[in-house]
Amino acid sequence: MNNFAHYAVLTAMLAPAFFLTATASLLLSANNRLARIIDRARTLLRELVDIEDPKERELYEMRIRLQRRRSLIILRAGQLLYGAISCFVGTSLAVAVDTFVDHRLGGLPTWLAAVGVLAMLAASILLARESTLAVTAINEEMDHRHVKKKNG
């Protein structure tokens, strides 16, 4: 292998780094969102203990169910993002190995990269869905606080 071929291999190995950076950014965001959801759920659970009014109690239980749903969506998104990272790292390794085994891996590096991109896409869709639920949750809380103040 000549010197230029080595550079081509290194370049091909580094290409997934751009995807890794984007995936890591999404993963950081997802983990931060999950932490906020868990904090909110814990707060709701603490407040629920002191609520005796059946209607208000049902309202809190509904809010807790929504937080659980949001946390599961974020969990799935995080799992997909970790899978994407694995695929992108696998892509880099497959490119290197493919060079040393005289290109016998065929399309494996490309398939790994494609699966990684699909995992990122699926995770992004889940993150968008969770954002919608977050807005739904805050709107519901604002609506009920407004009603509670009028009645109180």
pTM for the whole thing? 0.84
Per-residue confidence (pLDDT) for residue 113, from 0 to 100 = 93
Question: Please, which contacts does 124-128 make with residues 24 or more away whose CB atoms are closer than 8 Å?
Answer: 124/26, 124/77, 126/73, 126/74, 126/76, 126/77, 126/80, 127/26, 127/29, 127/30, 127/33, 127/74, 127/77
CB neighbour list of residue 124: distance below 8 Å, 6 or more residues apart: 26, 77
The domain locations on the chain are 3-151
Residue type, 145: R
CB neighbour list of residue 83: distance below 8 Å, 6 or more residues apart: 115, 116, 119
> Could you report the per-residue pLDDT of 10-19, keeping only the tens digit for each?
777 777 888 9
Give the residue ranges of the chain where pLDDT is below 50: 147
